[in-house]
């Protein structure tokens, strides 16, 4: 049942966090990442990171993470997929990882330091960065933009940052202006679009005063990502690299695959909703423009978050 699935995921993630911590301790200091603050963190992997749009999500249940009390995302350290990506960049030759694809992956300002440090390294050659629909504010975004304006990753051609900060603030921000001036050939895209994602399902009836209603979901919204789950893309297509799979049992790659693969409402959405009652689950949706706005208007993509 759902409780057993939840306990199994928590045990799996705890083991993976311990393995990552052990591997990081054995690396040279220059390549090391902050050790994870809390190993029992199924919620850190399954709920995604898109910034809530117009709805305050309730805090996680006190017993949902650690018996001693929940830790903040900053205290828990970067999400597993981000740790795996940086470890991959540290362990491969130049050019083997050419894209950083972390859209909807629970990245916050406090997680940006190891990523920016990696961008300054001469051992990587990144052409695309996608950090759309995370929980980044201008504090974290400005650090990234300033690093790129200062010459980090000259090979970079595309930077996607939509769904983090209000659109109307973008063009007036000093760091955006400075980057566009320093690197006019770099495509800096703040449009709220989840690239290459396939529709998962369409929202039907939304009950009044339900969590979905409070989160801002409307009938007809097309779900593009629910939790961390997307439809129809391999891990390599979605994140830009292929996590290693274990020959025995459930390894990091297998756990990531289970947490990010959308099958259908009964197999993906229902178990997540039941397993995370009282905790926020973020949903990225595509909403078609209303008839009054003109047929030529493109669909908008946004994030909703609510306690389920």
Task: For each of the domains in the chain, give its residue range(s) and CATH number, in order of start.
Answer: 77-189 (3.80.10.10), 198-240+257-287 (no CATH)
Give the span between the Cα atoms of 153 and 140, in whole angstroms.
18
Q: Is the pLDDT of residue 245 over 60?
A: yes
Choose between 69 and 41: higher pLDDT: 69
- Could you please report the per-residue DSSP string of 193-261? --TTPBP-EE-----TTSHHHHHT--TTPEEEEETTBBBS--HHHHHSS-PPPPSSS--HHHHHHHHHB
Mean per-residue pLDDT for 176-203?
95
Choose between 129 and 60: higher pLDDT: 129
Place of tokens 């994870």: 36
Q: Is the pLDDT of residue 168 over 70?
A: yes
Structure confidence by residue, pLDDT tens digits, 255-269: 677 778 888 998 888
pTM greater than 0.75 (yes/no)? no
The reported pLDDT for the residue numbered 66 is 43
Q: Is the pLDDT of residue 24 over 90?
A: no
The reported pLDDT for the residue numbered 45 is 38
- 65 confidence band (pLDDT: 50, 70, 90): very low
Choose between 71 and 122: higher pLDDT: 122
Q: Is the pLDDT of residue 64 over 80?
A: no
Cα angle 119, 45, 134; round to 5 = 50
| Strand order, beta sheet including 99-101 | 99-101, 128-130, 158-160, 187-189
Q: Is the pLDDT of residue 63 over 50?
A: no
Most confident of 3-7, 16-20, 223-227: 223-227
Q: Which of 126, 162, 203, 118 is nearest to 298 (CA)?
A: 162
Query: Strands, DSSP E only, in 65-122?
Result: 99-101
The reported pLDDT for the residue numbered 139 is 96
The reported pLDDT for the residue numbered 56 is 40
DSSP at 72: P
Q: What is the mean pLDDT of the chain?
A: 76
Q: Is the pLDDT of residue 8 over 70?
A: no
Q: Which of 114, 163, 158 is nearest to 134 (CA)?
A: 163
Percent of the chain topping pLDDT 90: 34
Q: Is the pLDDT of residue 23 over 60?
A: no
3-state secondary structure of 183: coil
The reported pLDDT for the residue numbered 137 is 96
The reported pLDDT for the residue numbered 288 is 82
Mean per-residue pLDDT for 207-213?
87
Torsion (CA) 131, 135, 139, 144 in degrees, nearest 10: -10
The reported pLDDT for the residue numbered 30 is 46
- 114 confidence band (pLDDT: 50, 70, 90): very high
């Amino acid at each position: 049942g759902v409780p057993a699935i939840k306990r199994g995921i928590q045990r799996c993630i705890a083991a993976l966090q311990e393995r990552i911590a052990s591997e990081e301790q054995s690396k040279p200091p220059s390549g090391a990442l902050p050790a994870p603050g809390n190993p029992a963190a199924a919620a850190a992997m399954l709920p995604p990171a898109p910034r809530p749009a117009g709805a305050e999500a309730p805090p996680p249940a006190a017993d949902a993470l650690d018996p001693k009390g929940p830790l903040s995302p900053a205290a828990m350290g970067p999400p597993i997929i981000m740790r795996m990506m940086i470890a991959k960049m540290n362990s491969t030759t130049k050019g083997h990882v050419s894209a950083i694809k972390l859209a909807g992956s629970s990245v916050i300002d406090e997680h940006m330091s190891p990523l920016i440090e990696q961008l300054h390294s001469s051992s990587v050659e990144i052409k695309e960065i996608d950090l759309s629909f995370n929980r980044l504010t201008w504090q974290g975004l400005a650090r990234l933009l300033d690093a790129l304006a200062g010459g980090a990753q000259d090979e970079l051609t595309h930077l996607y940052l939509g769904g983090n900060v209000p659109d109307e603030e973008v063009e007036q921000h000093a760091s955006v202006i400075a980057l566009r001036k320093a690197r006019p050939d770099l495509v800096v895209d703040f449009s709220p679009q989840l690239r290459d994602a396939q529709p998962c399902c369409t929202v039907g009836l939304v009950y009044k005063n339900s969590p979905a209603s409070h989160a801002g979901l409307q009938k007809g919204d097309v779900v593009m990502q629910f939790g961390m789950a997307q439809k129809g893309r391999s891990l390599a297509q979605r994140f830009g690299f292929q996590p290693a799979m274990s020959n025995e049992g459930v390894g990091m790659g297998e756990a990531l695959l289970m947490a990010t693969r959308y099958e259908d409402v009964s197999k993906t959405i229902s178990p997540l909703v039941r397993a995370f009652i009282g905790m926020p689950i973020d949903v990225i949706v595509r909403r078609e423009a209303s008839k009054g706005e003109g047929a030529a208007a493109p669909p908008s993509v946004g994030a909703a978050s609510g306690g389920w």
